[in-house]
Amino acid sequence: MNNGFTYLCAPYSHHNPQIRELRYQMTNDFAARLMRLGFVVFSPISHSHEVAKYLDSDENTHKLWMEQDLPLLEKASRCIVLRLPGWEHSKGVTEEVSHARKHNIPIEYMDY
């Protein structure tokens, strides 16, 4: 369907673990929807949520995840921002969008 892959960013962190889990589930569902449409998708939340279970709490930082995710974003052909509640206040989404703009990666905003 496209050249390259789609980087899917969405809000994740929240002081309420139930909201964080809901965001994880909604992002996974949305990634699956995009895949059904023929997109090749990398969802950092889908990947990181599971890997984080194997990190100590002092290792599991925003800085670590940005160091892991932003190099992948640079290789993407597009960035889709999933506008879940709170997306516009997300530190991670803000950083990812800024990075995509810096690297001239097209950004699309989509609702769940």
Local confidence pLDDT in tens for the 112 residues of the chain = 446 899 999 999 999 999 999 999 999 999 999 999 999 999 999 999 999 999 999 999 999 999 999 999 999 999 999 999 999 999 999 999 999 999 999 999 999 9
Beta carbons of 77 and 2 less than 8 angstroms apart = yes
Instruction: Give the pLDDT score at 101.
Output: 98
- Helix (H) / strand (E) containing 32: helix 17-36
CATH assignment of 6-110? 3.40.50.10400
3-class state of residue 40 by DSSP: coil
Beta carbons of 79 and 107 less than 8 angstroms apart = yes
Instruction: Give the pLDDT score at 3.
Output: 64
For residues 53 and 30, what is the distance between their CA atoms, to the nearest angstrom?
22
The one-letter amino acid at 43? S
Enter the DSSP assignment of 59.
T
For residues 26 and 33, what is the distance between their CA atoms, to the nearest angstrom?
11
Q: Residue 76: name the closest of 40, 50, 46 by CA.
A: 40
For residues 112 and 56, what is the distance between their CA atoms, to the nearest angstrom?
32
Instruction: Give the pLDDT score at 1.
Output: 41
